[in-house]
Amino acid sequence: MKRVLMLLANGVEPMEMAAFTDVLGWADLLGDCPLELVNAGLRKKIITTFGLALNPSFLLRDLDVSSFDALALPGGFEPAGFYEEALSEPFLETIRQFVEAGKPVASVCVSSVCLGVAGVLRGKHATTYHQEGGKRKNQLVESGALFVDRPVVVHDNIITSSGPGTATEVAFLLLEKLTSSENATYIRQKMRFATPDRDWYDAPQVA
């Protein structure tokens, strides 16, 4: 049994959260290794980026973080209050614990900024949501990360990505790290997800 902790900040983006929920859920049902995805937040009720209300299954403070094999971090929007919790010390300390233990950490979109603020991206290749003149890239670089303008970047056990459209690819990469490439490919086929071509993986956000 592999256990994954998904941290949900207020203002989280539903699509990014759903990618982990669905890919790992399908893998638990049909794959070759039992998986448990546990979602947790800092409050009993959160409001997502686009107004959907959710009740996290657990409060982070009630969990033994060391009992999990990987960490999943969906991103969110600043106007929805995402960074207020995603950059809080409980979130940052949880990130540090997983990285220090050498466990996979999979972040989508701007949640890589949380990794940077936590201090775990120094000297590591990483990406984030990025526009011409946008501040998220600068935040990443200021944290010591080596910014790479690609949809998904993997450095050791840390996965970062550039936007909600990359969320399922991040989830499949996390599944591969937890189980095997064969298992991830099998679940991808069962879910009818196409494998992006090389051009997709190499395409920068800003030409």
In SS3 terms, 20-54 reads as HHHHHHHHHHHCCCCEEEEEEECCCCEECCCCCEE
Please, what CATH class does the domain formed by 2-109+165-194 belong to? alpha beta
| Assigned token pair, 150 | 């690609």
In this predicted structure, the answer to whether residue 1 has a pLDDT above a threshold of 90 is: yes
Least confident among 99-108, 164-173, 197-206: 197-206
Specify the residue for token string 């959260």. Answer: 17
Q: What is the pLDDT of residue 207?
A: 80
The whole-number average pLDDT for the span 114-120 is 98
The amino acid sitting at 110 is V
> Residue 155 to residues 42, 89, 165: CA-CA distances in angstroms?
28, 24, 20
Which residues face 5 on adjacent strands?
38, 71
Q: 185: which residues sit within 8 A by CB, 6+ positions away? A: none
Res 132: pLDDT: 82
Q: Among candidates 109, 31, 100, 125, which has minimal Cα distance to 72?
A: 109
In total, the chain counts a number of residues equal to 207
Instruction: Flag whether the pTM goes above 0.85.
Output: yes
Indicate the pLDDT class of residue 111, thresholds 50, 70 and 90.
Answer: very high
Report the mean per-residue pLDDT for the chain.
96
Condensed to tens digits (0 to 9), the pLDDT of residues 123-143 reads 999 999 998 877 899 999 999
Percent of the chain at pLDDT exceeding 90? 96
Q: What is the structure's pLDDT at 193?
A: 97
Single-letter amino acid, residue 42? L
**What pLDDT digit, counting tens, does each position of 51-93 carry?**
999 999 999 999 999 999 999 999 999 999 999 999 999 999 9
Q: Which residues contact 199 (CB under 8 A, 6 or more apart)?
A: none
Whole-number Å distance between alpha carbons of 11 and 133: 23
Q: Given this model, what pLDDT does residue 122 score?
A: 98
Name, in order, each residue with C-beta under 8 angstroms of 181's C-beta and a sequence gap of 6 or more. none
Query: 205: exposed, middle or buried (C-beta count within 10 Å: 0-12, 13-18, 19+)?
Result: middle
